[in-house]
Amino acid sequence: MEIIAGIDVGKQWLDVSIDGGRVKRYENNSEGISEIVLTLCTGQVSRAVCEATGGYERGLVQTLRAEGIEIQVAHPNKVRAFAQACGLLAKTDRIDAQVLARYGQVFDQPPCQRMDGEVLKLRDLLRRRQQLMTTRVQEMNRLEKQIAGPMRASCERHLVWLNVEIKALNKAYETQLSCQDFSQQAKLYQSVRGIGQLTATTLIAELPELGHCNGKSLTALVGLAPWSRDSGQHRGYRSIRGGRATVRKALYMAALSAIRVEGEMRRFYQGLRKRGKAGKVALVAVMRKLLLLLNVIAKRGTPWVEIYVLPGK
């Protein structure tokens, strides 16, 4: 039988419960994490479970995986729903650690692709770039409000700084992408019409599961699988939700580019529109088709060669 450890992650503390038993507290730093590794190895723990906390769990997860200890990063909403289903309405760090241990006993470790330090570095660069891009749009929107005086000067100075930083980050991620493995992978993805360098980089950094999952798992992971809303004779409207928003946005822009030029994706999109599908529904179908195509390319390791159809054929 597996021995599961639940680890509640906080900014300062890590609370650990082995098999839902007594909770022990450690500091959330390198020394505390080293003590946790020793405790888990001594207790012959086969798997640990923690929640995603926006980054406070990063050191713990990386250290445990480097030591060969499986750790499952669970979605906080799912863990809270599980606790409520178990009748545990109270919420403290110690209770959360015990709940996480029980959660790990009920739910198996989902398959996930391990990421090395280079992939994480590439992901951090892209995320920082997106943060600055968002801030730049906000500042440009403020300038459109016809502000004047010191406030306008401040926005303009900030925009100059943001443009310099964004250019530096563009250069940094391109340098990181020039790594031999990343470069070849990006070229494979860019063989698909509509996939540019930035989209290829996003797929490498944010979706390392490409080429390692089947189509259904991958579409659910990204959030492109339609959710059913049926009850009795009622057939509700299907819609997509959840998943990795960053990847979904990148595929959305790629799909828009792909359907604007003659090719397989444009013909696929037009065929759906002729059958009465709404524009948004047809575009999501193109995104899903692109994702499945990229998954096949990643598995085979060969670039995509599009079959052209002559007019009138």
Average pLDDT, integer, range 286-298: 94
**Predicted local distance difference test score (pLDDT) of residue 313:** 45
**Predicted local distance difference test score (pLDDT) of residue 237:** 75
As a whole-number percent, the residues of the chain with pLDDT over 70 amount to 95
- Structural domain contains residue 310: no
pLDDT exceeds cutoff 50 at 211: yes
- Structural domain contains residue 313: no
pLDDT tens, 2-50? 899 999 999 999 999 998 889 999 999 999 999 999 999 988 898 999 9
One domain for residues 285 and 217: yes
One domain for residues 140 and 220: no
pLDDT tens, 128-144? 999 999 999 999 999 98
pLDDT tens, 159-204? 999 999 999 999 999 999 888 789 999 999 999 989 999 999 999 9
pLDDT exceeds cutoff 70 at 113: no
- Structural domain contains residue 308: no
- Structural domain contains residue 238: yes
Instruction: Count Cα neighbours of 93 within 13 Å in the Cβ-side half-sphere.
Output: 14
One domain for residues 92 and 19: yes
- Structural domain contains residue 169: yes
- Structural domain contains residue 258: yes
One domain for residues 211 and 253: yes
Cα separation, 2 vs 62, whole angstroms:
22
- Structural domain contains residue 184: no
One domain for residues 90 and 173: no
- Structural domain contains residue 305: no
Domain boundary among the residues 47, 81, 106 is at: 106
- Reported confidence tier of residue 109, pLDDT bands at 50, 70, 90: low
One domain for residues 174 and 199: no
Cα separation, 127 vs 99, whole angstroms:
31
Report how many domains make up the chain. 3
Domain boundary among the residues 54, 76, 106 is at: 106
Cα separation, 240 vs 280, whole angstroms:
11
Cα–Cα distances (Å) from 73 to 62, 96, 107, 230, 248, in that order, read 11, 14, 12, 31, 21
Q: Strands of 70-74's sheet, edge to edge?
A: 23-27, 13-18, 4-9, 47-51, 70-74
As beta bridge partners, residue 18 has 5
pLDDT, mean over the chain: 89
Average pLDDT, integer, range 51-55: 89
pLDDT exceeds cutoff 60 at 112: no
Instruction: Count Cα neighbours of 10 within 13 Å in the Cβ-side half-sphere.
Output: 13
Domain boundary among the residues 136, 157, 178 is at: 178
Lowest model confidence (mean pLDDT) among 31-45, 68-82, 154-168, 214-228: 214-228
Comparing CA positions, the residue from 158, 132, 131 lying closest to residue 143 is 158
One domain for residues 24 and 43: yes
Average pLDDT, integer, range 94-112: 84
As beta bridge partners, residue 25 has 15
One domain for residues 122 and 98: no
Answer for the pair 6, 103: CB distance below 8 angstroms, yes or no: yes
One domain for residues 259 and 222: yes
- Give the CATH number of the domain where residue 62 resides: 3.30.420.10
Long-range pairs of 170-179 with CB within 8 A, sequence gap ≥ 24:
170/129, 172/125, 173/122, 173/125, 173/126, 173/129, 173/201, 176/118, 176/121, 176/122, 176/125, 177/122, 177/201, 177/204, 179/118
One domain for residues 128 and 153: yes
One domain for residues 160 and 213: no
Domain limits at 149? 117-178
Q: At residue 44, what are phi and psi to the nearest 5 degrees?
A: 55, 40
One domain for residues 161 and 243: no
